Amino acid sequence: GHHETTRGCLLAFENLAKRMSFNNVLDLGTGTGLLALVAKRRNARQCLATDIDGEAVQRAMANTRQNDVNGLKFITATGMRHAIIQKTAPYDLIFANILAGPLVELAPDICRALDRNGRLILAGLIKPQQQQVEARYKAQGLVLEFRRTLGDWPVLGCRKGR
């Protein structure tokens, strides 16, 4: 949680978790597994963590064992098209702490995977990319609920629905 993007996601999640609970969480681009681990500790019933990097998935699995957290599922996957990601959807919370290019490219798939009242926490972009990312998710029907910038790193919180 030292990097601004991870810290921003954690702060956004803690704020949301004060008002609602999450049953089915996806951590897209899990890295160390920290976001998935925190969601599971906050009683998410089901939590799937994915990363394009198989070594990152192995490290994330080791981190959850070290922290004595059970019930997380990890897979190595590119994007949202993996059968397990699709089978486990819809998600009531998705973390996507990845680069702006993939955030824009994956927007339709990410939004399709959200539950009808689902929440999305986006990070990994820099300030000059914020407008493009916001516009892409707005075009998918998501509503921006909050923005928080830590250093040069914006974190966006969106919801699906009206």
The per-residue pLDDT for range 19-71, each reduced to its tens digit, is: 999 999 999 999 999 999 999 999 899 999 999 999 999 999 999 999 999 99
Structure tokens at 108: 């339709």
Give the mean pLDDT of 102-113. 98
Confidence of residue 3 (pLDDT cuts 50, 70, 90): confident
C-alpha Rg value of the chain to the nearest Å = 14
78 HSE (CA, 13 A, CB side): 1
In this predicted structure, what is the pLDDT of residue 98? 96
Strand partners, 101: none
Share of the chain above pLDDT 90, in %: 94
Name the pTM for this structure.
Answer: 0.96
Structure tokens at 52: 């394009």
Give the mean pLDDT of 107-117. 97
Share of the chain above pLDDT 70, in %: 98
Distance of CA 157 to the CA centre of its chain: 10
Distance of CA 54 to the CA centre of its chain: 18
Whether pLDDT at 119 is above 90:
yes
CA distance 44 to 107: 23
